[in-house]
């Protein structure tokens, strides 16, 4: 029953996209309503799965991965449609469902080629849900590509600025990362046959195979870098700022809020889980890279004047914290990294939602051209400030829960390099505070520019996604215990496998 519900999470977006195909191109409102209804039903479905998940997990002795279901796909190659979820999967599915529902609401003003836009957006979402439920690496990779490739059209056709360049750069870099992932997956498939006599794409089966150190020492970095490209790992992050800056609002929300999390999810779920010895060998090297991520991203954001570039480089820094938690090699660090994926997903989705609404009114993203906007758009202004405070880790907001867990987990590692890098990462928060407060002050304070005196504050349909995302930021910050418990239970078997 629940296995069918898991499948429906990616079937619903595809059905929504299919229904949009039969709607008149000029009937923009009907297309938007279809997408909104589809995303709403998917959100309800994911909440139902979460309820069932927590019910099963309340029973002592339950497996880490539950609701498993397997159907043969290509028997000759031992490829199966194998699905199931653990605590990390279900929370990432919930994040995706929330972000896409809010993204559809934020995309209400789109008129140009609205039909094609919402079709591509729903196809992308189907791929994301497929990734989070897949336990077969071949199926995982298929859904991963479905999630990534529509970005080219969504940015190239509906983006702004140097959209063609940004779409091409993003696609080429992500395809290069995918090539490394595919090489690593195929290597695991054939090597598993050499060891056990049966080639396998089964994630849980592969995690129990002891691959040779020599094999892991080249497969692990291939997988980690491949997924790290999508997670904005330095120095492969350069596609991210341009892609974010050019993408339309809903795409930026989904891109930063969910898609970039596929990178961190893949690093943990596949690279680290299956190749523990390679992980132990290479983590000191990746620790240096992700520390650069965190510090460099914060300083780069400090120099930007375009709101989207500020948020994009902020994402480079905050996604670096996800990978930083992994490099801590402690259970608390892993837990913090997953919490950061959720927190950052909510925060950046809200940031890009607000920036899109502000740009729709002012027709500029350059903060130095604004000023005094709090006088005319107080709702959007207050929401922007709260979101910025979540980014710098203010207590009672989600960012604090995630970041403090990462820093405690990293400092828990007695290695001197880990502790030095932790101090550097903590100091980057000062830079984060500077660019957040500077941005808010430039936009919202001071005398009001006369040409913005007639601006209208957010409408009801614009307030709705903002309120939902703000509620989630506060809910995670004030009542994190249930999320932490779900994450920790899922982290334990992964951590034990990494340290076996």
pLDDT over 70 at 1, yes or no: no
pLDDT in tens, 25-57: 777 788 888 888 989 999 999 999 999 888 887
pLDDT in tens, 322-359: 899 998 888 999 999 999 999 988 988 898 888 888 88
Tokens matching residue 300: 């780069």
Q: How far apart are CA 220 and CA 51, in angstroms?
A: 35
Q: How far apart are CA 283 and CA 292, in angstroms?
A: 14
Q: What is the pLDDT of residue 314?
A: 85
pLDDT in tens, 409-432: 888 888 888 889 888 888 888 888
Tokens matching residue 446: 């001071």
Residues 6+ apart with CB under 8 A from 473: 343, 346, 347, 350, 386, 387, 390, 397, 398, 399
Q: 445: exposed, middle or buried (C-beta count within 10 Å: 0-12, 13-18, 19+)?
A: middle
Phi then psi dihedrals of residue 498, to 5 deg:
-65, -30
Q: 40: exposed, middle or buried (C-beta count within 10 Å: 0-12, 13-18, 19+)?
A: middle
- More confident site: 185 or 62: 185
Q: What is the pLDDT of residue 471?
A: 93
Q: Region 248-265: what's the mean pLDDT? A: 81
Contact 155, 246 (CB under 8 A): yes
pLDDT over 70 at 439, yes or no: yes
- Tell me if the pTM is above 0.75: yes
Contact 85, 8 (CB under 8 A): no
Q: What is the pLDDT of residue 3?
A: 64
Q: Region 459-480: what's the mean pLDDT? A: 90
pLDDT in tens, 88-112: 999 999 999 999 998 888 888 776 7
Q: What is the pLDDT of residue 61?
A: 67
Q: How far apart are CA 81 and CA 74, in angstroms?
A: 9
Tokens matching residue 387: 């979101």
pLDDT in tens, 286-319: 999 999 988 888 888 888 888 888 888 888 888 8
Q: How far apart are CA 343 and CA 390, in angstroms?
A: 9
To 10 degrees, what angle do helices 28-57 and 481-498 make? 70
Q: Give which of 292, 274, 273 is closest to 421, Cα–Cα.
A: 292
Contact 343, 387 (CB under 8 A): no
SS3 376: coil
Mean pLDDT of the chain: 86
Would you tell me how many other CB atoms lie within 10 Å of the CB of residue 336? 31
Q: How far apart are CA 257 and CA 69, in angstroms?
A: 28
Q: Give which of 94, 122, 110, 111 is closest to 37, Cα–Cα.
A: 122
Q: What is the pLDDT of residue 307?
A: 83
Q: How far apart are CA 346 and CA 398, in angstroms?
A: 9
DSSP letter assigned to residue 449? P
């Amino acid at each position: 029953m629940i296995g069918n519900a898991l499948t429906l999470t990616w079937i619903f977006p595809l059905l929504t996209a299919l229904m949009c195909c039969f709607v008149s191109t000029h009937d923009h409102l009907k297309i938007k309503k279809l997408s909104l209804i589809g995303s709403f039903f998917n959100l309800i479905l994911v909440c139902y799965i979460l309820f069932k998940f927590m019910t099963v997990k309340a029973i002592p002795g339950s497996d880490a991965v539950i609701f498993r279901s397997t159907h043969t796909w290509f028997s000759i190659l031992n490829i199966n449609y194998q699905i199931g979820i653990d605590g990390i999967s279900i929370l990432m599915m919930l994040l995706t469902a929330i972000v896409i529902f809010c993204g559809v609401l934020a995309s209400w003003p789109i008129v140009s080629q609205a039909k094609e836009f919402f079709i591509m957006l729903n196809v992308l979402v189907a791929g994301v849900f497929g990734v989070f439920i897949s336990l077969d690496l071949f199926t995982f990779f298929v859904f991963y590509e479905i999630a990534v490739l529509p970005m080219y059209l969504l940015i190239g056709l509906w983006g702004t600025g140097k959209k063609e360049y940004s779409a091409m750069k993003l696609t080429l870099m992500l395809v290069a990362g995918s090539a490394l992932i595919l090489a690593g997956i195929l290597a695991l498939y054939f090597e598993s046959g050499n060891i056990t006599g049966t080639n396998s794409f089964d994630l849980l089966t592969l995690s129990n195979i002891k691959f040779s150190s020599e094999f892991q020492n080249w497969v692990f970095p291939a997988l980690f870098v491949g997924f790290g490209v999508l997670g904005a790992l330095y120095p492969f992050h350069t596609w991210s700022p341009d892609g974010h800056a050019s993408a339309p609002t809903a795409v930026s929300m989904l891109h930063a809020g969910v898609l970039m999390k596929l990178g961190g999810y893949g690093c943990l779920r596949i690279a680290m889980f299956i190749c523990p010895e390679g992980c132990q060998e290479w983590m000191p090297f990746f620790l240096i890279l992700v520390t650069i991520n965190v510090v460099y991203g914060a300083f780069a954001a400090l120099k930007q004047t375009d709101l989207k570039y500020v948020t994009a480089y902020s994402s480079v820094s905050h996604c670096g914290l996800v990978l930083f938690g992994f490099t801590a090699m402690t259970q608390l660090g892993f837990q913090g990294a997953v919490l950061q994926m959720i927190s950052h997903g909510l925060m950046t989705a809200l940031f890009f939602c607000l920036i899109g609404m502000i740009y729709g009114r002012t027709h500029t993203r350059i903060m130095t051209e604004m000023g005094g906007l709090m006088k005319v758009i107080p709702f959007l202004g207050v929401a922007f400030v709260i979101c910025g405070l979540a980014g710098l880790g203010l207590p009672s907001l989600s960012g604090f829960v995630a970041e403090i867990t990462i820093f405690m987990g990293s400092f828990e590692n007695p290695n001197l390099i880990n502790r030095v890098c932790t101090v550097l990462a903590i100091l980057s928060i000062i830079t984060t505070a500077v660019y957040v407060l500077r941005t808010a002050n430039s936009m919202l304070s001071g005398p009001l520019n006369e040409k913005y005196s007639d601006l209208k504050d957010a409408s009801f349909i614009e307030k709705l996604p903002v309120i939902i995302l703000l509620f989630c930021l506060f809910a995670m910050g004030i009542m994190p215990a249930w999320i932490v418990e779900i994450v920790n239970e899922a982290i334990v078997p992964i951590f034990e496998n990494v340290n076996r």
